[in-house]
Amino acid sequence: MSAPAPPRFAGPLIGLATAATALGAAQPAAALLGVSPPVTVVADAVVDHSPFGLVAWAISVFGAADKAVLVTGVLLVLVAVACAAGGLALRRPAAGYAVLGAVALAGLAAAWLRRTDDPWAAVPVLVAALAGALALALLRRTLPAASPAVPAPAEAAPVDAEPGNAGPGTGSDTAPGGPGRRTVVASAGVIAAGAVAGGAGLWLPSLSGRTGGPGALRLPAAAEPLPALAPGTDLGIPGLSPFFTPNDDFYRIDTALTVPRLDASRWRLRVHGMVDRPFEITMAELLDLPLVEADITLTCVSNQVGGDLVGNARWLGHPLADLLRRAGVHSDADQILATSHDGWTCGTPTEVVMDGRDALLAVGMNGAPLPHEHGFPARTVVPGLYGYVSATKWVTDLKLTRFSDEQAYWADRGWAERGPVKTMSRIDVPGDFTRVPAGDVAVAGVAWAQHTGIDAVEVRLDRGEWSTAELARVPGIDTWVQWVTEVSVEPGMHALEVRATDATGFTQSHVEVETIPDGAEGHHYLRFTAE
């Protein structure tokens, strides 16, 4: 008699259980080492090495969800491979281990490609491979013979199949206690073990990093503190963006799939390249230098007209220009190429940083150390430039170079080499497609032209005449400005449109321009219903 064939789902199930255990086991290892788990490492490597434009495309299509989409994609590929390999492993055990080994090698290759980020990221991959191999070995033992054609070896018979209680279904692959059931039970157990390990990973503190995080860093007061915000700067209108964006609400844009969690006590910034006196600076040294405060609005070049990839904060930091003077920058070094801990690069024109504006190596944001999400322990902030050419989070390296010699991350992917912020305005209230009572309706929003300044904001109702809005106060030319006006409306559907004029006299055109390569243009236009 030949052994019962394993049920058809046994292969994919074993494959999935193996993958789940492997990934689950990697999680606590990654947490303890303070490095990215394998799926993230692979996804990161995909981002870094994907062909021209793919990443930009993903960001434009999926927006802020791009990271979740990519990680899900990597997981789906893994699930497909696991199912197929599990099926293969039913007939040829060696093939199952071979696929597991190949997947582990791919993970190791990804970790190697990302070695500047996390040199230890290979360890969780190895842990995953080991756990996967153990799970696979265990689950294979729940199966009958390797092939239906081969007689069942003795130990493959269900150990609990007593002749006395063998019912009519005994020997069938779906019978209780039969091979199908045993595989299912064992798989569930293995998956549960993986889930427990994975869950534990979420709770484990990193053996490094945690003590040197934002919670533990004490920032000195600014040598040149700013006065409190003048009354009339924040109009406090419900629905209108507050003048200062709370850190928790501040938009986040970066290529990092998991937020780098750096240890301030181990952080160093290197300033080198085309300079007379290259140097390195630690966090303790940086905090000993005079710190200044500056209110600066940060904007993303990917922000659509009317979009929310813009925020304003009071930054605390040391002037970048002072660091560059200390290094002695060569006159022909027209680019500051900043590199983050995770290898992202950003090219800022040297002359912009040296022209006297508040270009900062920032350590504080709205009265607190930078949150991990916004670049802890240090980032650059330069008023007047889009974030992709000015605002390197987790910055560890400033290299003085030339635009003609080296290209930064996004410039290399089709975005403009230089990215001055374009004059822009946005309506916050009433919200798009909201309903408001007919009569007098408050209309309010923000407008920005960092390091130029906004001179006027105009609004028009139903494509009628432009009327001037009232501008709130601003501490300087580097922030957005709130504006407010009122329109009188009959019941029904209405349209609002806004345009700003900056301090150079330039007024926003209604002609729409897409974000790539150097920022969107056009009037924010929305509709609402009065009733």
Residue ranges binding ligand MTE (CB under 6 A): 250-256, 298, 300, 340, 344, 374, 387-388, 391-394
Query: What is the DSSP-derived secondary structure letter of residue 234?
Result: S
Which of 78, 120, 122 lies closest to 100 in space, CA to CA? 78
* Comparison of 87 and 369: residue with beta carbon closer to ligand MTE: 369
* Comparison of 139 and 262: residue with beta carbon closer to ligand MTE: 262
The interface partner of residue 480, options being Mo ion, ligand MTE, none and the CB cut-off 5 to 8 Å by kind, is none
Helix (H, G, I), strand (E, B) or coil at 338: strand
Residues 223-262 that bind Mo ion (CB under 5 A): 253
CB of 410 to Mo ion, least distance (A): 8
The interface partner of residue 298, options being Mo ion, ligand MTE, none and the CB cut-off 5 to 8 Å by kind, is ligand MTE
Strand-strand pairing, 268-273 and 279-282: antiparallel
Tokens 């070896």 belong to residue:
153
Beta bridge partners of 494: 528
Asked if 410 touches Mo ion (CB under 5 A), the answer is no
* Comparison of 187 and 339: residue with beta carbon closer to ligand MTE: 339
C-alpha dihedral sign at 408, 348, 241, 498: negative
* Comparison of 171 and 517: residue with beta carbon closer to ligand MTE: 517
Peptide bond connecting 430 to the previous residue in cis, omega within 30 degrees of 0: yes
* Comparison of 34 and 347: residue with beta carbon closer to ligand MTE: 347
d(CA 230, CA 345): 37
Tokens of 442: 């408050």
Residues 370-399 that bind Mo ion (CB under 5 A): 387-388
The interface partner of residue 250, options being ligand MTE, Mo ion, none and the CB cut-off 5 to 8 Å by kind, is ligand MTE
CB of 437 to ligand MTE, least distance (A): 36
Alpha carbons within 13 A on the beta-carbon side of 406: 21
d(CA 85, CA 409): 37
d(CA 464, CA 487): 11
Report residue 60 CA to chain centroid gap.
Answer: 14
* Comparison of 393 and 499: residue with beta carbon closer to ligand MTE: 393
CB of 55 to ligand MTE, least distance (A): 10
CB of 388 to Mo ion, least distance (A): 4
Query: What is the DSSP-derived secondary structure letter of residue 275?
Result: B
| Chain position whose Cβ is nearest to Mo ion | 300
Strand-strand pairing, 395-401 and 268-273: parallel
The interface partner of residue 374, options being ligand MTE, Mo ion, none and the CB cut-off 5 to 8 Å by kind, is ligand MTE
Residues 275-334 that bind Mo ion (CB under 5 A): 300
The interface partner of residue 458, options being Mo ion, ligand MTE, none and the CB cut-off 5 to 8 Å by kind, is none
φ, ψ dihedrals at 457, nearest 5°: -130, 135
CB of 342 to ligand MTE, least distance (A): 6
CB of 381 to ligand MTE, least distance (A): 9
Helix (H, G, I), strand (E, B) or coil at 440: strand
On the 0-12 / 13-18 / 19+ scale of CB atoms within 10 A, 172 is: middle
The interface partner of residue 243, options being ligand MTE, Mo ion, none and the CB cut-off 5 to 8 Å by kind, is none
The interface partner of residue 523, options being ligand MTE, Mo ion, none and the CB cut-off 5 to 8 Å by kind, is none
Tokens of 98: 């071979």
* Comparison of 182 and 393: residue with beta carbon closer to Mo ion: 393
Beta bridge partners of 459: 467, 498
Number of residues that bind Mo ion (CB under 5 A): 4
Beta bridge partners of 312: 297
* Comparison of 344 and 448: residue with beta carbon closer to ligand MTE: 344
Q: Percent helix, strand, coil in the chain (nearest 5)?
A: 35, 25, 40
Helix (H, G, I), strand (E, B) or coil at 394: coil
| Chain position whose Cβ is nearest to ligand MTE | 387
Helix (H, G, I), strand (E, B) or coil at 433: coil
CB of 392 to ligand MTE, least distance (A): 5
The interface partner of residue 315, options being Mo ion, ligand MTE, none and the CB cut-off 5 to 8 Å by kind, is none
CB of 389 to Mo ion, least distance (A): 9
CB of 59 to ligand MTE, least distance (A): 9
* Comparison of 388 and 483: residue with beta carbon closer to Mo ion: 388
CB of 394 to ligand MTE, least distance (A): 5
* Comparison of 183 and 340: residue with beta carbon closer to ligand MTE: 340
> What residues contact 399, with CB distance under 8 A and at least 6 apart?
272, 273, 336, 337, 338, 339, 406
CB of 408 to Mo ion, least distance (A): 12
- Contact positions vs Mo ion (CB under 5 A): 253, 300, 387-388
